[in-house]
Amino acid sequence: MILFKRAKDLREHLKSQQTQGRKTGFAPTMGALHDGHISLVEASRKENDITVVSIFVNPTQFNDPSDFEKYPVTIEKDIRLLEKAGCDVLFLPSVEEIYPDGQMLTNKYELGYLESLLEGKFRPGHFQGVCQVVHRLLEIVMPANLYMGQKDYQQCMVIKKLLEITGLERSIKLQISPTLREPGGLAMSSRNVRLSTEERSAAIAIFQALDRIRTDLKPGDTTGLKEQAFSALTQQGFRVDYVEIADASTLKPCEEWNGQDRLVALAAAFLGGVRLIDNLLLN
Active site residues: 37
Sheet arrangement for strand 239-247: 239-247, 263-271, 274-281
Per the annotation, binding residues are 30-37, 61, 149-152, 155, 180, 188-191
Cα torsion angle, 141, 190, 56, 250, sign:
positive
Q: Is residue 240 a contact partner of residue 269, using CB atoms and an 8 Å limit?
A: yes
- Torsion 11-17-23-25 (CA) sign: negative
By CB neighbour count within 10 A (0-12 exposed, 13-18 middle, 19+ buried), where does 173 fall?
Answer: middle
Amino acid at residue number 55: I
Residues within the annotated binding site for ATP? 30-37, 149-152, 180, 188-191
Integer Cα distance of 132 and 62 in angstroms: 12
- Measure Cα distances from 140 to 26, 76, 216 in Å: 11, 24, 46
Q: Which residues are annotated as a binding site for beta-alanine?
A: 61
Helix (H) or strand (E) holding 262: none
State the Cα–Cα distance between residues 210 and 275, nearest whole angstrom: 16
What is the distance between the alpha carbons of residues 96 and 94, in angstroms, rounded to a whole number?
5
* Annotation: binding site for (R)-pantoate: 61, 155
CB under 8 Å to 118, separation ≥6 — which residues? 154, 242, 244, 246, 251, 266, 268
Distance CA(247)–CA(254), nearest Å, equals 6
